[in-house]
Chains A and B, each alone.
Chain A
Amino acid sequence: MTNNRTRTKFYFGALSLAVILLFVLDIVLGSVYISIREIFNVFFSADKVEPHISNIIINFRLPRACVALLAGVALSVSGLQMQTVFRNPLADPYILGVSSGANLGVALFLLGSSIFSIILPTLVSNFCIASAAFAGSALTLFLVLIVSIRIRDIMTVLIFGIMFSGAATAIVGLLQYMSSESALKTFVVWTLGNLGNATFDEIKIMFVITLTGLTIVIFSIKKLNVLLLGDVYAQTVGVNLRLTRTIIFMSTSLLTGQVVAFCGPIGFIGIAVPHIARMFFRRADHRILVPACILLGANIMLFCDIVSQIPGYNIVIPINIVVAFVGIPVIIRIIFSNKKIINE
């Protein structure tokens, strides 16, 4: 019945294998050379492994790879949902203003405390930054939900999102202007993204939130498909628009909010991966695109993380810079491809 069903299955199989391979590579490669045998021993053997080696693997590389995987999945699926709901190929997970809200939260915390000369102990600040970011995202979610329940026209919701982001950015700008140099640097570094900040407990939180978000997405697949045709057709085949939108906004904010909280505002993945998935599978059906975004998102984020660590060098490039170089060519391709993805 379906054309190319075998090809689709083959791609899914290959991409799943690639995730495993890149996950292992992400653990193997890094500034310090560690052999595969040593890594194997850390996990599976009682053989003596030097403590600093097992420390690097268990406390640095493994959590980092897990975070990369979860963040890649969460951002890609969120981006797909937003592109469908807004019927806009350039929509991304942050279109609702989640990252601006998080930015504002973190800026208030980091820069605000510097302005009021409160000295932050370095150890607490990581979790506090995450909390501040999550609080900012949650506030944004709350505002977006109120607006989307009250307003029927999706473009009005979009404009609200942009205006909210603008206001948040302005406040952040003011805080930056007034804050001390060291606090400013901490803030700027946070905006560049970091996959290596999360502790195991935080990864557990990320895992649970990602799983919850994904479950909601999977139950929205059928509705997302119908939304491709626009609000009128979605309604006339029986979709309750406001409820559906609210659910989709909720899962997007959950998925994106946690990534911003624990990794900073990582860009481009959310906008580029859904397009890569479409180019790859040549389908618009979300029953294919959602799993495709999950797999491609994980792969691409793991790949970016490997690149960011440049094997052999003692330096980690901020993830947002690597992601930009991977994402921008895809976005340029979208702009220059003469076929429009969605045309009204």
Chain B
Amino acid sequence: MNKQSIKIENLSLGYENSANAKHELFPPFSVTAGSSQFIALVGRNGVGKSTFLRTLAGLQNIFSGNIFINGKAASRLLRKDYASLISFVSTEMVRVMHLKVFDLIAMGRYTYTNLFGNLSVNDEKIIVDSLEMTGMSDFMWRNVSELSDGERQRIMIARALVQDTPIMIFDEPTAFLDIPNKYEIILLLKNLTRQKSKTIIFSTHDLNIALHLADKIWLMANRKMYEGTPSQLIKTNAFDEMLANTVLKMENGEIKFK
């Protein structure tokens, strides 16, 4: 394994309510992400995947434990330091009227542009390149509100790409997509880890995608975090934990009905 991108030590997930009482959602766990790895985060609804990703992206305070991003303690990072290390794509749909694809992607250059957000020739080149990379070159001056879900997801990836961060986080990037789009998007992301040396962490409910395409899986089940390559997790029966009390089971690396 080459150098580490993210090191998580004894991180627990939870929230603080208005009376400052602490509620732990998920007990402490430790995982790592190596540079240029393609990591799938899986787990059932409500297990805390989004909370974990939001904490990792610095959108939520660390409940307890430590996160190190490229060797730096996350709790000490400022907003703009985060922005230079991690880009994030949420499940939230952006549908702003009259917002051009180009203008949306340009927002990813926020920390690089001057006080007024004027784009340099280099910025514009980076935006054009990201559109090419995501196969959206023809859409540069289209309105974001007129795009299909698949097209919009590509645009959001392009926006994250121009932010030029070593780590990219995607919360359910294929949630609203049909099957061909789903695989195209995931392959596009995997390609970014290979060609652009990005470390990518994405959450998904599609176990086939996680099993066949991810370098490593983080599996959250029964208040425990399992970490390993797909074959390691199959061997250790980690998926049985996740599929306990469901109609599904894992058999020889495939999902079957019980």
CB of A240 within 8 A of CB of B90, answer no
CA A195 to CA B163, docked complex, whole Å: 47
CB of A233 within 8 A of CB of B111, answer no
CB of A342 within 8 A of CB of B104, answer no
- The chain A residue sitting closest to B94, CB to CB, is A229
- The chain A residue sitting closest to B95, CB to CB, is A343
CB of B79 within 8 A of CB of A238, answer yes
Name the distance in Å between B173's Cβ and chain A's nearest Cβ: 14
Which of B83, B98, B100, B117 contacts A238 (CB under 8 A)? Answer: B83
Query: Is B103 an interface residue, CB under 8 A from the partner?
Result: yes
Interface hit among A128-136, A157-165, A282-290: A282-290
CB of B96 within 8 A of CB of A341, answer yes
CB of B116 within 8 A of CB of A221, answer yes
- The chain A residue sitting closest to B57, CB to CB, is A236
Query: Is B211 an interface residue, CB under 8 A from the partner?
Result: no
- The chain B residue sitting closest to A236, CB to CB, is B88
Query: Is B107 an interface residue, CB under 8 A from the partner?
Result: yes
Query: Is B176 an interface residue, CB under 8 A from the partner?
Result: no
CA A198 to CA B150, docked complex, whole Å: 56
Q: Mark B11-53, 1 if CB is under 8 A from A, else 0.
A: 0000000000000000000000000000000000000000000
CB of B107 within 8 A of CB of A342, answer no
CB of A283 within 8 A of CB of B100, answer yes
When distances are taken between beta carbons in the complex, the residues of chain B under 8 Å from A278 are 97-98
CB of B79 within 8 A of CB of A240, answer yes
Query: Is B80 an interface residue, CB under 8 A from the partner?
Result: yes
Q: Mark A235-276, 1 if CB is under 8 A from B, else 0.
A: 111111000000000000000000000000000000000000
Query: Is B145 an interface residue, CB under 8 A from the partner?
Result: yes
CA A55 to CA B93, docked complex, whole Å: 58
Query: Is B124 an interface residue, CB under 8 A from the partner?
Result: yes
CB of A287 within 8 A of CB of B115, answer no
Name the distance in Å between B168's Cβ and chain A's nearest Cβ: 11
| A contacts with B: majority SS | loop
When distances are taken between beta carbons in the complex, the residues of chain A under 8 Å from B80 are 238
CB of A340 within 8 A of CB of B117, answer no
When distances are taken between beta carbons in the complex, the residues of chain B under 8 Å from A218 are 116
CB of B95 within 8 A of CB of A238, answer no
The bracket for how many chain B residues form the interface is 35 or more
When distances are taken between beta carbons in the complex, the residues of chain B under 8 Å from A219 are 115-116
CB of A343 within 8 A of CB of B93, answer yes
CA A283 to CA B94, docked complex, whole Å: 15
When distances are taken between beta carbons in the complex, the residues of chain B under 8 Å from A284 are 96-100, 103
CB of A236 within 8 A of CB of B117, answer no
- The chain A residue sitting closest to B109, CB to CB, is A237
Q: Mark A287-323, 1 if CB is under 8 A from B, else 0.
A: 1000000000000000000000000000000000000
- The chain B residue sitting closest to A277, CB to CB, is B98
Query: Is B63 an interface residue, CB under 8 A from the partner?
Result: no
Query: Is A35 an interface residue, CB under 8 A from the partner?
Result: no
CB of A226 within 8 A of CB of B110, answer yes
When distances are taken between beta carbons in the complex, the residues of chain B under 8 Å from A240 are 79
CB of B59 within 8 A of CB of A225, answer no
When distances are taken between beta carbons in the complex, the residues of chain B under 8 Å from A1 are 124
CB of A238 within 8 A of CB of B94, answer no
Q: Which of A226, A238, A287 has the most CB of B within 10 A?
A: A238
Q: Which of B80, B86, B98 has the most CB of A within 10 A?
A: B98
When distances are taken between beta carbons in the complex, the residues of chain B under 8 Å from A237 are 83, 87, 107-108, 110-111, 163
- The chain B residue sitting closest to A279, CB to CB, is B98
CB of A342 within 8 A of CB of B98, answer no
- The chain B residue sitting closest to A229, CB to CB, is B94
Name the distance in Å between A308's Cβ and chain B's nearest Cβ: 31
Which of A225, A232, A235, A342 contacts B95 (CB under 8 A)? Answer: A342
Query: Is B92 an interface residue, CB under 8 A from the partner?
Result: yes
Query: Is A344 an interface residue, CB under 8 A from the partner?
Result: yes
Give the top 4 A-B pairs by smallest Cβ distance, nearest first.
A238-B83, A222-B117, A284-B99, A237-B110
Q: Which residues of A contact B (CB under 8 A)?
A: 1, 3, 218-219, 221-222, 225-226, 228-230, 232-233, 235-240, 278, 281-285, 287, 339-344
19 of the cross-chain contacts (CB-CB < 8 Å) are A219-B116, A221-B116, A221-B117, A222-B110, A222-B115, A229-B104, A229-B107, A233-B88, A233-B92, A236-B82, A236-B86, A237-B83, A238-B79, A283-B98, A284-B98, A284-B100, A340-B97, A342-B96, A342-B97
Q: Which residues of B contact A (CB under 8 A)?
A: 57-59, 79-80, 82-84, 86-88, 90, 92-100, 103-104, 107-108, 110-111, 113, 115-117, 124, 141, 145, 163
